[in-house]
Chains A and B, each alone.
Chain A
Amino acid sequence: MANDFLVFDRVTKRYGALTAVNDVSFTVNKGEFFSLLGPSGCGKTTLLRMLGGFERPDAGRIYLNGEDITDMPPNKRRVHTVFQNYALFPTMTIRDNIAFSLKLAKKPKAEIDENVEAMLEMIQLSEHAWKYPNQLSGGQKQRVAIARALVDRPQVLLLDEPLAALDLKLRQHMLLELDTIHDQVGITFLYVTHDQGEAMSLSDRIAVINKGKVEQLDQPAKIYEAPVSSFVAAFIGDTNFFEGVIESTDGDYCTIQVPGFGAIRAYNDKNLAATQKVHLSVRPEKIRVTSVPPPPEKGASINVFQAKVTDVVYQGVYTKYWVRCGDRSISSMKPHSRFLLDQEKITWNDRVYIWWHPDDAYMIENFSELDESLIQTPPTPPEDE
C-alpha cells in the first residue's frame, strides 16, 4: 500500500446521523486522470475535502506518496483544489492570483515571473494578466483557477465540478483544454463530477459513487459496457432492465424467461445455471427498431419482439423511440446515419419489430428496484387503448 501514489483506506465521514462517506477505499495511480462520478449528495465533495485537508475522516486513513496525510493541515499538503466557484482572490490581479502559492513559498522573483508567464501562456491569458477576476468571463476565470492551482506543481490537482457553471459550448471547449493541460503537466488529476459525459471523455479511470460508497471502479468503457450494479447501469447512460429466471443454458448462452415479456437469449457471462434468477441490462442504442423483421442473415439466435411505438423523440443526433411490448415500456435509440428525411419514418402507434443480439445484454450482479427510477421514462404516459 505504501508504494501506491494516492490511497483512500477505509475512509468514513459522518455528519450527525448521516454517513456522507461510508468505508471508501481506492487507489489512484501517479499521473492518472481519475474521476469521482455520482449523483448529487453522494459524498464526492466530502471525499475531496478530506483529501484537501478541510474535513477530518471519522475513520480510515489517506496516504499520499506513501505518507499518511490524514491529520496534516491543508497548507502542508502538496494538493491543490480548483473550486467549483473558482474562489479567485478578488483583490488581486490575475498575475498575483497565479503567483500566490509561489510567493508563499518565498521563491526568487525571477523564478516566480518565469513560472507565472509560462502558466499565463498555457491558459492563453497573457494579455489579461493585470486584470482583476471580476473583469474576466466565466471560462477565463476557470482557466485562471486551474493555472493558480498548477503553478507550483502539486502532487495532485483536485477539481470539484469545475465546469458546472459554464454553458454547454464552453464546457465542451474547456473539456478538451483540461485534457490538453493534463497531458502537458503530467500531474495526477482527481476530478469530481455528476456529469457522466465529462467523466467518460476525460478519465483514465472512474469511481462511481453512490450513497457514500464506491459502487464500481474501472475504465470508462468497462463501466459503461459491464456495469456491476443496476445503479451504475442506470446512472451512466440509459438502459432497459429485464428480470427473469434462467430456463436453459447452451454453451456460452442461456435463455431467460421474463414474466410479462417473453424469452430472451443472452450471453451467460456469469455462468449461471438454470432456475437461477437474473437481471439483464440492455442499452437503448443496442436495440434496433424497424418496421420490417430483421434480415435473416442476422442469425436465428437474435432476440426479436413485436411492439407498438408509443413515443418518438427527435434529438438531432439520434431519435429515441419508446415502444410498448407485453406490459413493458422499452426505450431504443437510433443514430441517424443516412439523411433522415429520406428514410421511411416510424411514428406513433406503428407496429414495429425490436431486436438485439444476445451479446448486447449484460447481466447485473447487484440489482435494486430503487435504481429503476434512474431510468428515463417516456415523456408522456403511454396510452392504452
Chain B
Amino acid sequence: MDKIERKKKFAEMVVSLPSFVWLAVFFAAPTLIVLSFTFHDHTANGGVAAAWSLATWRDLVNPDYPTIVWRTIRISLEVTAWCILLSLPCAYAIARLPKNIRAMVAGLIMLPFWTSFVVRVFAWKTMLHPDGFLQRCYYIFLDIRTWLFDWLPGFLQSFLCWLGLATPGAADPASATILDSELAVVLVSVYTFLPFAIMPIYTAAEKFDFALMEAARDLGAKGFYAFRKIFIPGVRQGIVSAILMVFIPAIGSYVIPQMLGGTNCVLIGNKIFMRAIQNRNIPHASALATVMALSVLVPIGAWVWWKSRQNAKDKKRLEEATRESILMGGAS
C-alpha cells in the first residue's frame, strides 16, 4: 500500500517535472531577475550597476506616477466592466442557439485573431481619424446632444452640468476628437479583449442548465430577473475567468494607448517602455513593472485567500452536520 502510494507520488513528479521546469526557467526566474534589478542603480550606458542600492525605489517618487497608475487601473476596470457587460448577453445568446450552429458562431468570435493585432489597431486609427467614419458619426451625435441640451429648461441644464454629464455650449471640435483620447483607448481595448471575455463565459453558459431559467419563470420571475438571479450566478466561474482574462492584459496594455491614446492617455505600460528604451533605465522600468504586478496580484491574492477561507468554513459546517446526523441515527 505504502509502496504503491510512493510509486504514485514518483510518477506524478515525473509527469509534472517538465511544466515545473518550464515555469521555473521562463516565469519564476525572470520575475525574480526583474525584482532584483529594482535593488540596483542604473549605469549611464543603460546597464545595471553591480552594487545593491535603493536609489531606484527612491527615484520612483514621481508626482506623475500615482496619476498614471490610477488611470491604468481605472481604465482597466472600465474595459473589464464593459467586456463583461457585453459578453453576458452574447454568451447567453450563443449558448441558446441550436447545437450545430453554436460551434460555428463561437468560431466567428475568434475570427478577428486571423488578422494581426497591429493591423487591426491601425484600422481603428483610420476609422477614428477626424475624417474617418466613426469620428463623423460622433460629431453628429454631439450636435444632437447639444441641440437637445439647449432645448431643455434651465434648471435641468444646470443639474446635468452639476452631475458632470454635460457642459454648456457647443462642443469644440478639438476636444471632441476620439483619436488620442481616453475614449479611443477604452473603445479599442473593449473591442480587443471582448473575445477573451465571451469565451470563458460562453464555456460556462454551455454547461448551464437552461431548465433552471424555465423553473424561475415558472415561479413567477420575469425574463431579466431570471437572467440576473439564475443565469449570472450560474456562470460565475466563467465570469471570474473572464475578469482575469481581460483585466490582467488590460493593466499591461501598451500598444493600444501608444497608438490611439496620444499624450492624453499614457498608461503604465507606456511609461515602462519609455523608461526602458528611451531613458535606458532598466532598474527604473523594472520597479514600475513590479508596482504594476503588485497592484494586480495583491487584490487577487486577497480575494483568493478570502474565498478559500469561506470554502473551508462551509466544508467544516457540512462535516459537523453530517457527523451530528450520523450520531443521531442518520435520521432523514
Asked whether A80 and B219 contact (CB < 8 A) given A104-B225, A125-B332, the answer is yes
**A92 contacts which chain B residues (CB < 8 A)?**
233
Question: By DSSP majority rule, is chain B's interface helix, strand, loop, or mixed?
Answer: helix
* Closest beta carbon of chain B to A175's beta carbon, Å: 17
Residues of B within 8 A of A130 (CB): 317
Cβ A131 vs Cβ B216 within 8 A: no
Q: Does B323 contact A (CB under 8 A)?
A: no
Given known pairs A87-B211, A87-B212, the reply for A74 and B321 (CB within 8 Å) is: no
Contacts of B219 in A (CB 8 A): 75, 80, 100-101, 104, 148-149, 152
> Residues of A contacting B212 with CB < 8 Å?
87, 89-90
Give chain B residues whose Cβ lies under 8 Å from the Cβ of A105: 220
Task: Please tell me which one of the listed residues B225, B230, B317, B318 contacts residue A89 in the complex, with CB atoms under 8 A apart.
Answer: B230
**With A91-B234, A125-B332, A131-B318 in contact, do A83 and B220 touch (Cβ < 8 Å)?**
no
Map CB proximity to B onto A69-98 as digits: 1 under 8 Å, 0 otherwise: 000011100011101010111111000000
Give the residues in chain A near B211, CB-CB below 8 Å: 83, 85, 87
A284 at the interface (CB under 8 A from B): no
B152: shortest Cβ distance to chain A, in Å? 35
List the A residue with the shortest CB-CB distance to B233. A91
CB-CB under 8 A for A124 and B236, given A89-B215, A101-B220: no
Question: How far, in whole Å, are A88 and B321 apart by their CA atoms in the complex?
Answer: 21
Bound: A83/B230 CA distance, A: 16
Q: Which of A122-172 contact B (CB under 8 A)?
A: 124-125, 127-128, 130-131, 135, 140, 148-149, 152
Decide: A80 and B332 in contact? CB cutoff 8 A.
no
Which residues in B have their C-beta under 8 angstroms from that of A54? 214, 217-218
B215: chain A residues at CB < 8 Å are: 81, 83, 87-89
Residues of chain A within 8 A (CB-CB) of B233 are 91-92
CA distance A54 to B218 in the complex (A): 9
Say yes or no: is B209 at the interface (Cβ < 8 Å to chain A).
Answer: yes
How far apart are the CA atoms of A101 and B216 in the complex, in Å? Answer: 8
Asked if B221 is at the interface (CB within 8 A of a chain A CB), the reply is: yes
Q: Name the A residues within 8 Å of B318 (CB-CB).
A: 131, 135
Query: Which residues of B from 314 to 332 have beta carbons under 8 Å from A?
Result: 317-318, 321, 325, 332
| Bound form: Cα–Cα A101–B222 in Å | 11
> Which of A74, A90, A125, A148 counts the most B-chain CB atoms under 10 A from its CB?
A74
Most chain B CB neighbours (cut-off 10 Å) among A52, A87, A100: A87
State which of B209, B218, B321 has its C-beta within 8 Å of the C-beta of A80: B218
Question: Are B236 and A91 in contact (CB-based, < 8 A)?
Answer: yes
B153 to chain A, nearest CB (A): 35
The residues in B between 199 and 241 inclusive whose CB is less than 8 angstroms from any CB of A are: 209, 211-212, 214-222, 225, 230, 233-234, 236
- Among B211, B217, B221: residue with most chain A CB under 10 A: B217
Q: State A135–B221 Cα separation when bound (angstroms).
A: 25
Residue in chain B with minimal CB distance to A92: B233
Pick from A52, A85, A127 the residue with the most CB of B within 10 Å: A127
**Contacting pair B214 A75 (CB below 8 A):** no
Give min CB distance, A151 to chain B, whole Å.
9
Chain B residues near A124 (CB, 8 Å)?
332
Shortest distance in angstroms between B283's beta carbon and chain A's nearest beta carbon? 48
A75 to B216, CA, bound (A): 8
- How far, in whole Å, are A56 and B237 apart by their CA atoms in the complex? 35
Take A87-B214, A127-B321, A131-B318 as given contacts and tell me if A75 and B221 are in contact as well, using a CB distance cutoff of 8 Å.
yes
Closest to B210 in A: A87
A90 and B234 in contact (CB under 8 A), knowing A83-B211, A127-B321? Answer: yes
Could you say which of A73, A131, A140 contacts B332, with CB atoms under 8 Å apart?
Answer: A140
**Min CB–CB distance B123 → chain A (angstroms):** 41
Query: Residue of A at shortest CB range from B218?
Result: A81
Q: Which residues of B contact A125 (CB under 8 A)?
A: 332
Smallest CB separation, B231 vs chain A (Å)? 10
Q: A75 contacts B217, CB within 8 Å? A: yes
Q: Chain B's nearest CB lies how many Å from the CB of A339?
A: 35
Question: In the bound complex, do residue B216 and residue A100 qualify as a contact, i.e. CB atoms below 8 Å apart?
Answer: yes
- Inter-chain contacts of B216 with A (CB < 8 A): 89, 100
C-alpha spacing A128/B177, complex, angstroms: 60
CA–CA, A91 and B219, complex, Å: 16
Contact with B along A11-41 (1 / 0, CB 8 A): 0000000000000000000000000000000
Residues of B contacting A131 in the complex (Cβ-Cβ under 8 angstroms)? 318, 321
**Minimum distance in angstroms from B234 CB to a CB of chain A:** 6
A90 to B230, CA, bound (A): 9
In the complex, A75→B217 CA distance in Å?
Answer: 5
- Residues of chain B within 8 A (CB-CB) of A148 are 219
Contacts of B236 in A (CB 8 A): 91
A81 cross-chain contacts in B, Cβ below 8 A? 215, 218
A201 shortest CB reach to chain B, Å: 23
B218 touches A52 (CB 8 A): yes
Residues of A within 8 A of B317 (CB): 130
Instruction: For the complex, give the distance between the alpha carbons of A127 and B325 in Å.
Output: 10
Measured between beta carbons, the chain B residues less than 8 angstroms from A101 are 219-220
The reply to whether A87 and B217 form a contact with Cβ atoms under 8 Å apart is: no
In contact, A104 and B221 (Cβ under 8 angstroms): yes
Alpha-carbon distance A128/B318, docked complex (angstroms): 10
Q: How far is the CA of A81 from the CA of B215 in the complex (A)?
A: 7
Chain B residue at minimal CB-CB distance from A132: B314
B312 to chain A, nearest CB (A): 16
**What's the Cα separation between A104 and B216 when bound, in Å?**
10
Which residues from A are CB-within-8-Å of B220?
75, 101, 104-105, 152
Since A89-B212, A100-B219 are in contact, a sample of 8 more A-B pairs with Cβ atoms closer than 8 Å, ordered by chain A residue number, is A75-B218, A83-B211, A87-B215, A100-B216, A101-B220, A104-B221, A127-B332, A149-B219
Q: List 20 A-B contacts (CB under 8 A).
A: A53-B218, A54-B214, A75-B217, A75-B222, A79-B218, A80-B218, A80-B219, A83-B211, A83-B215, A87-B209, A87-B212, A88-B215, A90-B234, A100-B219, A100-B221, A101-B220, A105-B220, A127-B325, A127-B332, A148-B219
Top 6 A-B pairs ranked by shortest CB distance? A87-B215, A91-B233, A101-B219, A74-B217, A104-B220, A87-B211
